[in-house]
């Protein structure tokens, strides 16, 4: 018996129960493929023993202690950025070594010891390795250096403005790790530099003079690589601007260097509500015990956490991986916010998927899992024209009286386009 059953008054309670049980069985069957596949998708929690062994080996090579490992400044100053060091930690064949060196002549690379400890397969098929270690594919010259035209959307020093009521302060080029899919690799250079205080003061003055700005995102680079005292100063200055309602911080440190999330940092962040932090977990393997602890500390400090995953070929461009990622994020109190289609940045073409991949993922999220686990799939329009949501087609037809809706199960139903009118 289908859900299009006769009026309930003509059906017994037993018959209604049968309908409900049949529907429950049908719904369970719809995710049977995922229930089977998800067991093969490992998280950082699943691979704790391997991560621990990697960690011991790295500490031994650096002649460092467990206490050093927990110090974010030690992590930062001991980033791996040469083939010789990487080869001491992991076996790398000659061809891979030569390729890394070639790419390194053109594009900077650097990996925190923590993130290196997450390597599992230790080769170019590992989704963690692929995000961190240079690939010869980066030398294929496709895309643009600045597809978002940030140079043309900067009305003041350090400012990027694409929307009516919000803007970005780009405050540093420094990151805990230089991800191979980075959208701002043109800004990385060879030396870590925070923006000069004089430039930041001009950015703040621009915000003061434009009262429509209610939302400010501090990013870079990675905003949490500023010192605690400087972050405190900057957030205080924003708090003093009455028309700024919320502050946001863009950071990948909970993923690439969770040691940065200290009690001292959290005590500062707690002083500046409302504060939102968006991070970037791209694969369930990045969700480890250390990352979960960092997120817990931030949440307990009153920070609202969101995740902006990037859709990356060979890393997360399947419905099952993305669903598992979103489920694991919710377990550590991080709300899946966006899935970004990878930008057409020079040197990153090997990561770019089809838009169809993204739509397929969204098809297998909406309805198949809770709405909390369904982020928006976004294409950043070239030349700085902002984010455009991309959705499967759910409205098939419409007129003044009625629309045709396609449900997540591909059922087509008619729905009133306004108040229901009796015949």
State residue 147 phi and psi, 5-degree precision. Answer: -65, -20
Each residue's pLDDT tens digit, 35-50:
999 999 999 999 999 9
Query: Which range is least confidently modeled, 2-6, 40-44, 76-80, 383-387?
Result: 2-6
Q: Are 135 and 97 in contact (CB under 8 A)?
A: no
Highest average pLDDT, of 12-16, 287-291, 407-411, comes from 287-291
Query: Would you state the pLDDT for residue 4?
Result: 52
Q: How far apart are CA 190 and CA 243, in angstroms?
A: 37
> Residue 343 gets which letter from DSSP?
P
The arithmetic mean of pLDDT across residues 258-287, rounded, is 98
333 band by pLDDT with thresholds 50, 70 and 90 = very high
User: Which strands sit side by side in the sheet containing 386-389, from one edge to the other?
Assistant: 159-160, 166-170, 215-219, 246-250, 275-279, 304-311, 335-341, 376-381, 386-389
Q: Which residues pair with 377 in a beta bridge?
A: 339
Query: E strands within 280-360?
Result: 304-311, 335-341
Q: Are 88 and 78 in contact (CB under 8 A)?
A: no
Residue 1 clears pLDDT 50, i.e. is over it: no
Rg (CA), the chain: 24
Taking the whole predicted model, whether its pTM rises above 0.85 is answered as yes
Displacement of CA 400 from its chain's centroid (Å): 40
Distances (CA, A) of 137 to 239, 314, 352: 44, 13, 12
Each residue's pLDDT tens digit, 334-367:
999 999 999 999 999 999 999 999 999 999 999 9
∠ CA 240-242-246, nearest 5°, is 90
Q: How do 275-279 and 304-311 pair as beta strands?
A: parallel
Domains parsed from the chain with CATH numbers: 48-139 (no CATH), 150-389 (3.20.20.70), 393-423 (no CATH)
> Residue 208 gets which letter from DSSP?
H
∠ CA 201-204-206, nearest 5°, is 115
Q: Record the tokens describing residue 80, joined without a space.
A: 């791996």
∠ CA 58-61-67, nearest 5°, is 60
9 band by pLDDT with thresholds 50, 70 and 90 = low
Query: Would you state the pLDDT for residue 125?
Result: 86
């Amino acid at each position: 018996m289908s859900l299009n059953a006769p009026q309930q008054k003509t059906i017994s309670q037993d018959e209604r129960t049968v309908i409900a049980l049949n529907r429950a069985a049908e719904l369970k069957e719809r995710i049977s493929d995922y229930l089977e596949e998800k067991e093969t998708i490992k998280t950082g929690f699943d691979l704790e023993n391997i991560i621990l062994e990697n960690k011991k080996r790295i500490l031994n090579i650096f002649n460092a202690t467990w206490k050093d490992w927990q110090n974010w400044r030690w992590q930062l100053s001991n980033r791996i950025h040469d083939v010789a060091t990487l080869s001491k930690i992991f076996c790398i064949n000659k061809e891979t070594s030569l390729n890394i060196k070639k790419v390194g002549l053109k594009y900077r690379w650097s990996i925190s010891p923590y993130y290196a400890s997450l390597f599992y397969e230790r080769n170019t098929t590992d989704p963690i390795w692929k995000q961190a270690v240079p690939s010869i594919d980066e030398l294929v010259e496709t895309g643009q250096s600045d597809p978002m035209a940030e140079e043309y959307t900067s009305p003041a020093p350090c400012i990027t403005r694409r929307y009516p009521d919000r803007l970005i302060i780009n405050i540093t080029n420094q990151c805990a790790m230089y991800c191979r899919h980075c959208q701002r690799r043109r800004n990385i250079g060879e030396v870590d530099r925070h923006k000069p205080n004089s430039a930041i003061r001009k950015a703040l003055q621009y915000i003061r003079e434009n009262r429509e700005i209610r939302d400010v995102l501090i990013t870079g680079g990675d905003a949490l690589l500023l010192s605690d005292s400087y972050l405190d100063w900057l957030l205080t200055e924003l708090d003093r601007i009455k028309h700024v309602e919320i502050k946001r911080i863009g950071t990948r440190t909970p993923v690439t260097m969770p040691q940065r999330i200290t009690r001292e940092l959290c005590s500062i962040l707690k002083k500046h509500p409302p504060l939102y932090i968006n991070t970037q977990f791209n694969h369930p393997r990045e969700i480890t015990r250390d990352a979960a602890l960092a997120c817990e500390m931030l949440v307990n400090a009153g920070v609202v956490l969101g995740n902006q995953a990037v859709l990356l070929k060979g890393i997360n461009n399947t419905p099952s991986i993305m669903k598992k990622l979103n489920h694991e994020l919710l377990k550590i109190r991080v709300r899946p916010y966006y899935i970004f289609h990878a930008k057409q940045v020079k040197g990153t073409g090997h990561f770019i998927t089809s838009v169809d991949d993204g739509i397929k993922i969204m098809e297998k999220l909406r309805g198949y899992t809770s709405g909390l686990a369904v982020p928006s799939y976004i294409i950043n329009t070239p030349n700085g024209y902002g984010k455009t949501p991309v959705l499967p087609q759910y409205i098939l037809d419409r007129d003044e009286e009625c629309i045709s809706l396609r449900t997540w199960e591909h059922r087509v139903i008619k729905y009133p386009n306004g108040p229901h009118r009796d015949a």
